[in-house]
């Protein structure tokens, strides 16, 4: 059997290990080929990228090797998690292999803490070690290969096989295919195309369309000139790192613990903004063990079922339970500050909260002052009453976020509360996969819950927020107010915001990844599969008979098999991860050790099906 895995990121890497285990146990020749245009690790995680780009998960919470919490039919290859490997084996591995970032790696290896956010490149080094380890586990009739080439088409061949075409024009016939590419390219929107066309007409204009930050040609951005950056999410923090540290700037920590930016003089002046103008909350300093997570009091199966009718629950009731859980955690953390002398018994207050229908009303009854009561309206709409001195307002907002996040992801009143969005993510995903929400309510969930999750739980490490604050104080970055709108003028790209500010520049950067789309994809694999009818988007029937269309690849959530245009589950085609986002929920996460990780479970599911269908 010939199996092709397209994409060399964490999902297909852990799948490769499971396939090797099954192949070794079989009685026939098996060839497994991992293909990607980038080195092992793929576009996001490969070792050759800029080491200034950091992961958004702490080092002890990353792994590729499976563990005993994951149910497996066959034993897994034993190995260290990412931090263990860095601490024990990375330096020796680096001495026997040639990598372009060797000096940076050696420095990082010497200083990495289990609670630090490593460079993505260093994880790519670990991925290379992992792949070599898996290759060494193959027996005489199992072959695990890596082909560093872009797949340009996957088409149906004879006898339920697939023809794989590579950029070098070679082809392979595959008996099974697994596609896990991460973010793929998308066709430009009409507005993006207009921005690109404008740049093509002027030699001194630069437009960087949505792409992976590691691929962006930042050297083209001119020093000491304005550059407009549209987007304030995680990609934004990569770009500002590349345009500051990447140009010789550095940071110093002063005696008052404040971070200060020392300019190299080669930076541009950055004007950044977005439609909402909101900056995501920081990831707090970690206080938890590698497998530790919060177990809910209110957001429980028992309470979900109590609110459900005929196995379905409304989104409003689902979110009310989730918000109640977060509210309780906030007050629990508030009570945990032993330096405060409350005029009531803390235990009595917490017990009252546990049986309360309205936790804020109970807080009022106990005399919690207004400025210490949690206000979800302000948390979710932090810019609603922004003053005209917007830069100072944003600096103060960042400072409050930093101060709270430094109290830790368990103890901080706010950061510890928002951490529940991560800790309860698996439980929430299970409810979605068990269809607790009907189509109407699932649509409401995607539209209302996803922005909350992005704002409170998909932010950068606290260090990146400190760096942003330092760059603002140094005059390197200006953050625009909401409604950041860009238009093309004769003099360049002009941007305005809702406070009436305007800036013009001949340099515009889209600080976001390409949109997740099947209908407008520019990815050749998805295009060829769609043209052949092997994949389709998601069409769900609302209660009024209309169609809720999700512009993502339709798969079986349990088996991860692609579902073709006729509704048939394909036994030997698996598409999982980012291309299915929207139908599957929150697919952008790396494997985590000792928590029965979904990526590791998915790998077992796919491998078992390939060898037993």
What are the backbone angles phi and psi of residue 537, rounded to the nearest 5°?
A: -85, -175
pLDDT tens per residue, range 246-279: 999 999 999 999 999 999 999 999 999 999 999 9
CB 553 within 8 A of CB 574: no
Tokens of 130: 């992992």
Supply φ then ψ for residue 289, to 5 degrees.
-70, 165
What Å distances lie between residue 531 and 15, 105, 122, 181, 566, CA to CA?
27, 43, 38, 18, 13
Mean pLDDT in the chain?
A: 97
Mean predicted confidence (pLDDT) in 40-60 = 97
Q: What angle do CA 464, 465, 470 make, to 5 degrees?
A: 95
| Helix, strand and coil percent figures for the chain, each rounded to 5 | 40, 15, 45
User: Between the CA of residue 91 and those of 40, 47, 53, 104, 171, what are the distances in Å?
Assistant: 19, 14, 20, 12, 38
Architecture label for domain 190-280+472-510: 3-Layer(bba) Sandwich (3.50)
In tens, the pLDDT along 285-296 reads 999 988 899 999
Determine how many CB atoms are found less than 10 A away from the CB of residue 255.
Answer: 5
Q: In this model, does residue 439 exceed pLDDT 90?
A: yes
Do the two domains 2-185+516-612 and 190-280+472-510 of this chain adopt the same fold? yes
Cβ(3)–Cβ(610) below 8 Å: yes
Encoded tokens for 110: 């010497």
Percent of the residues in the chain that have a pLDDT greater than 90, as a whole number: 98
Domain locations in the chain as residue ranges: 2-185+516-612, 190-280+472-510, 301-457
Would you say residue 203 has pLDDT above 90? Answer: yes
- Cα three-residue angle 150-156-157, rounded to 5 degrees: 105
Averaged pLDDT, 11-27: 98
DSSP 255: T
CATH no. for 2-185+516-612: 3.50.50.60
Sequence-distant (6+) residues with CB within 8 A of 8 are: 34, 35, 36, 38, 39, 40, 41, 42, 46, 127, 146
């Amino acid at each position: 059997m010939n199996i092709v895995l397209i994409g060399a990121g964490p999902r297909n890497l852990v799948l490769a290990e499971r396939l090797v285990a099954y192949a070794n146990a079989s009685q026939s020749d098996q060839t497994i080929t991992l293909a990607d245009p980038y080195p092992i690790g793929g576009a996001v995680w490969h070792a050759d990228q800029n080491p200034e780009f950091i992961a958004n998960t702490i080092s002890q919470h990353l792994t590729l090797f499976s563990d005993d919490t994951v149910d497996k039919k066959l034993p897994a290859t034993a190995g260290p998690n990412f931090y263990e490997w860095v601490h024990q084996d990375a330096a020796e591995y680096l001495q026997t292999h040639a990598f372009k970032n060797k000096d940076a790696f050696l420095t990082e290896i010497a200083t990495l803490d289990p609670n630090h956010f490593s460079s993505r490149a260093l994880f790519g080094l670990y991925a290379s070690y992992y792949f070599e380890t898996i290759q060494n586990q193959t027996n005489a009739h199992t072959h695990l290969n890596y082909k560093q080439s872009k797949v340009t088409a996957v088409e149906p061949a004879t006898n339920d096989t697939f023809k794989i075409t590579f950029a070098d024009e070679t082809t392979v016939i595959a008996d099974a295919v697994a596609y896990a590419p991460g973010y793929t390219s998308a066709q430009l929107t009409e507005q993006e195309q207009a921005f690109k066309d404008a740049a093509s007409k002027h030699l001194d204009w630069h437009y960087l369309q949505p792409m992976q930050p590691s691929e962006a040609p930042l050297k083209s951005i001119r020093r000491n000139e304005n550059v407009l950056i549209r987007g304030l999410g995680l990609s934004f923090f990569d770009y500002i790192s590349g345009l500051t540290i990447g140009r010789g700037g550095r940071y110093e920590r002063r005696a008052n613990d404040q971070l200060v930016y020392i300019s190299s003089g080669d930076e541009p002046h950055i004007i950044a903004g977005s439609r909402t103008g909101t900056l995501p909350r920081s990831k707090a300093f970690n206080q938890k063990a590698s497998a530790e997570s919060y177990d809910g009091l209110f957001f429980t199966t028992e309470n979900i079922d109590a609110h459900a009718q005929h196995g379905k629950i409304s989104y409003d009731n689902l979110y009310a339970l989730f918000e109640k859980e977060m509210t309780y955690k906030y007050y629990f953390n508030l009570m945990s500050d032993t330096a405060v002398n409350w005029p009531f018994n803390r235990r009595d207050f917490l017990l009252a909260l546990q049986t309360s229908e309205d936790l804020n009303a109970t807080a009022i009854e106990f005399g919690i002052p207004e400025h210490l009561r949690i206000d979800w309206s302000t948390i979710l709409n932090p810019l609603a009453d922004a003053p005209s001195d917007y830069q100072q307002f944003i600096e103060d907002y960042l400072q409050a976020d930093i101060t709270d996040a430094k109290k830790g992801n368990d103890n901080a009143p706010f950061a510890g509360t928002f951490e529940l969005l991560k800790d309860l993510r698996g439980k929430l995903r299970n409810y979605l996969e068990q269809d607790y929400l009907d189509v109407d309510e699932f649509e409401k969930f995607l539209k209302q819950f996803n922005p909350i999750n992005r704002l409170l739980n998909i932010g950068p490490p606290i260090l990146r927020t400190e760096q942003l604050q330092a760059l603002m104080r140094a005059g390197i970055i200006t953050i625009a107010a909401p409604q950041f709108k860009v238009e093309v003028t004769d003099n360049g790209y002009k941007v305005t915001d809702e406070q009436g500010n305007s800036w013009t520049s001949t340099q515009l950067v889209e600080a976001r990844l390409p949109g997740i789309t099947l209908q407008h994809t520019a990815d050749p694999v998805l295009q060829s599969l769609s043209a052949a009818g092997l994949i389709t988007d998601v069409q769900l029937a609302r209660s009024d008979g209309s169609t809720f269309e999700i512009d993502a690849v339709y798969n079986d959530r349990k088996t991860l098999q692609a579902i073709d245009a006729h509704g048939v589950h394909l036994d030997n085609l698996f598409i999982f991860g980012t291309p299915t986002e929207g139908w599957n929920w929150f697919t952008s996460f790396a494997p985590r050790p000792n928590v029965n990780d979904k990526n590791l479970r998915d790998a077992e599911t796919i491998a078992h099906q390939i060898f037993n269908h």
